[in-house]
């Protein structure tokens, strides 16, 4: 399906201290999105420090060497802006949306904490408690908490970086020290390990001058070498289950390894489209059969990456399918039906209209995600950080449209039971 490329302007440069900068000017509205992405995520955590990447994200909001606690909140909100940060498998981001007249304020704030957050015993203990409460709310005291993004990786993977709980154990969090935090900052929060992006109502020359003025004297520290996180593919099926006392009904999720999303992008893209062919909308393969016709599941979803970020993840990663079942649902039958539909797709293929519908929806979602300036700033920052290709933001819709029916068939043929890892939720505590 022919989908045109977008034409967002993208300009790049690197400061002497190694900070990479990407600018995407758009004068259509007086708003800017600012993002700083650090090349450190859940996979970077050392053993015995599960949850540390996320904990450190919290610490970055607790003041800096020049600003008191909560100053970041006050200065951004006082300018009419919004802000947040988030931790992912392969990166951590910090971001603001502000009126364009407040751009310099955002740059000052981000540069100030890049020089050094306020790492004190009080801040550390306070944020450990905050993160523990977040785990209680989002995982321990919620039905299907951590399903499947925390529960499935240890079934599929064997190494600590890929398999461990990224939210962290209470024991690991409580034993974290200020020197641990200082070492983590020194290692990963270097200017040479970060990307700054600004999208929206900006003058390139003026923004460049401001960036150089605020970030230019951040001490130069090189990026640490990124470990090789790769693992061998599965050669036989892995399947586990666990009891969830709060879950009212059964559920199951399955995953298969896919090609390297960075170094083998052409082979990876068909899997991104395949996930949507299988699960996106009432006309999709699995929804039509399993939800509407057989009624073996009440809902389902399919996506790439354990956090559902197909263009913001590195290898090793996976294609996932997840299913919620009705009372007395048969998990074996659900997996068997998914296998049948994958085999049917691999054997019989799909018609052009079916693929075209999916590609059009995917392109629409991509365009919508980057229409707002913050979505654009975040996307180009991660594309620069992981690929050195921020301009790929313009090509993604077109590349999705160029995936062929033959490529979808070939991808479906690789999702066999022998390569599958699955995790089953047994509701109500089980037996």
What local confidence, expressed as pLDDT, does residue 431 receive? 45
What local confidence, expressed as pLDDT, does residue 5 receive? 86
What local confidence, expressed as pLDDT, does residue 356 receive? 95
Looking at 116-177, list the stretches that DSSP marks H as alpha helix, in order from N- to C-terminal side.
121-135, 153-156, 160-163, 170-174
- What's the average pLDDT block by block, 10 residues per block, for the chain (431 residues)? 90 98 97 98 95 97 91 95 97 98 97 96 97 96 96 98 96 96 96 98 98 97 92 97 96 98 98 97 95 97 96 97 97 98 96 94 95 97 98 97 97 98 88 45
List all residues 6 or more positions away from 15 whose beta carbon is below 8 Å from its beta carbon. 21, 191, 211, 212, 215, 216
Q: Tell me how far CA of residue 354 lies from CA of 321, 331, 341, 342, 344, in angstroms.
A: 20, 28, 15, 15, 15
What local confidence, expressed as pLDDT, does residue 429 receive? 59
What local confidence, expressed as pLDDT, does residue 8 receive? 95
Residue 132's Cβ-side half-sphere holds a number of Cα atoms within 13 Å equal to 14
CB 115 within 8 A of CB 64: yes
Query: d(Cα 305, Cα 314) in Å, to the nearest integer?
Result: 9
Sheet containing 238-244: order of strands:
238-244, 420-427, 251-257, 318-324, 299-304
């Amino acid at each position: 399906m022919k989908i045109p490329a977008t034409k967002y302007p993208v300009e790049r440069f690197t400061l002497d201290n190694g900070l990479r900068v990407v600018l995407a000017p758009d004068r259509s509205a007086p708003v800017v999105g600012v993002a700083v992405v650090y090349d450190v995520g859940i996979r970077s955590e050392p053993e015995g420090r599960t949850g540390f990447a996320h904990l450190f994200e919290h610490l970055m909001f607790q003041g800096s060497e020049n600003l008191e606690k909560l100053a970041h909140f006050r200065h951004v909100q006082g300018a009419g802006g919004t802000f947040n940060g988030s931790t992912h498998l392969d990166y951590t981001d910090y971001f603001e949306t502000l009126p364009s007249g407040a751009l310099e304020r955002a740059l000052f704030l981000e540069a100030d904490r890049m020089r050094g957050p306020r790492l004190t015993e009080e801040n550390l203990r306070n944020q450990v408690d905050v993160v523990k409460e977040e785990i209680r709310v989002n995982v321990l005291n919620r039905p299907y908490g951590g399903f499947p993004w925390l529960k499935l990786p240890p079934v599929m993977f064997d190494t600590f970086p890929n398999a461990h709980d990224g939210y962290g154990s209470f024991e690991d969090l409580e034993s974290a020290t200020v020197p641990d935090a200082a070492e983590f900052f020194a290692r990963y929060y270097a200017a040479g390990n970060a990307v700054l992006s600004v999208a929206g109502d900006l003058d390139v020359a003026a923004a460049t001058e401001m960036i150089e003025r605020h970030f230019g004297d951040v001490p130069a520290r090189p990026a640490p070498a990124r470990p090789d996180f790769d693992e061998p593919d599965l050669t036989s099926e892995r399947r586990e289950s666990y009891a969830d006392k709060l879950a009212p009904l059964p559920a199951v999720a399955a995953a298969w390894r896919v090609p390297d999303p960075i170094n083998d992008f052409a082979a990876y893209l068909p899997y991104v489209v395949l996930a949507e062919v299988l699960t996106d909308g009432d006309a999709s393969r699995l929804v039509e059969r399993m939800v509407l016709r057989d009624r073996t599941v009440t809902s389902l979803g399919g996506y790439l990456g354990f956090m559902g970020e197909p263009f913001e993840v590195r290898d090793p990663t996976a294609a996932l399918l997840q299913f919620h079942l009705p009372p007395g649902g048969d998990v074996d039958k659900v997996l068997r039906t998914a296998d049948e539909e994958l085999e049917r797709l691999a054997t019989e293929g799909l018609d052009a209209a079916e693929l075209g519908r999916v590609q059009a929806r995917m392109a629409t979602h991509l365009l919508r995600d980057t229409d707002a300036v913050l979505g654009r700033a975040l996307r180009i920052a991660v594309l620069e950080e992981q690929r050195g290709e921020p301009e790929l933001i313009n090509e993604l819709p077109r590349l999705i449209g160029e995936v062929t029916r033959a490529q979808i068939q070939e991808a479906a043929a690789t999702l066999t039971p022998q390569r599958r890892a699955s995790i089953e939720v047994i509701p109500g505590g089980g037996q």
